[in-house]
Structure formats: structure tokens, C-alpha cells
Structure 1
Amino acid sequence: MPPPGAGPYIDEALIADLEAQDTACRMDKPFAPVRELNAHHAGRHPRARRMLLRSVPHTVGFAR
């Protein structure tokens, strides 16, 4: 894991590319926690970052 504040946790270009995909669903809501994760990572908030890391797979649809 990169050190806090070392840049985005998830590359913004990757997020933008995934959001730009032509789908029948709106992608702004599923990716809101991902952008929040980047903000908490840049702001050096480890507890908030950890909480979001647990929730992102469920939000984006990768939960088991």
C-alpha cells in the first residue's frame, strides 16, 4: 500500500476511463466512494480509508 498522501490511492485516469464506459447504468454513484477513498488517502485519514476499502467492493459490485 502506498504511503498516505503519496498521490491518489486509485488512479484518477482509471476511474475516469471506467466511468466513461458505455453502460445502461449510471456510474457516478458506484464510483463516489472510490473518489472519497482517494480524498481520505490524500488527507492522511487511515481509519476512514480503511472503512472505505471495506465498502468499495460491495458498492462497485465485486462482493462475494
Structure 2
Amino acid sequence: MPRQLTTYQLDLFTNPHDVETPRTPLWQTQPAETRRTLTKLMIRLILDHADGDLARERQEARHDV
């Protein structure tokens, strides 16, 4: 059985055969400042999400008492 190609989120909303569809930019081709900024934003998003999970767990634990 042939292996299915990976689908990326940007691919879900475009027609891959449309020549006018812009290609997903390669990470390595982005300016260093852009990569640093995006990395910091992703870290903040992940940590905020994890902190929200911990806050919910603490709140649920208080309700169990």
C-alpha cells in the first residue's frame, strides 16, 4: 500500500494544483529575527496553554474537597 502524503494545515484550504496558490515558506528561508520572534510567541502560547491546564486542575481539585 503506498504511503499517504502528509497534509499540512495550509494545504487544507488550498488547491495544490492551482498555480496561483502561494507555497508554504520554508523555515530556513525566513529572516533570523522572524524565526526568533515566532519561536518566542510559540513558546509563550505553549506555556500559557499549559498554565491554563494547571489552573483548571487546581480549580477542579478545590471542587472535590
TM-score, normalized by the shorter chain, greater than 0.5? no
CA radius of gyration, larger in: 2
Q: TM-score, normalised by structure 1?
A: 0.29
Q: TM-score, normalised by structure 2?
A: 0.29
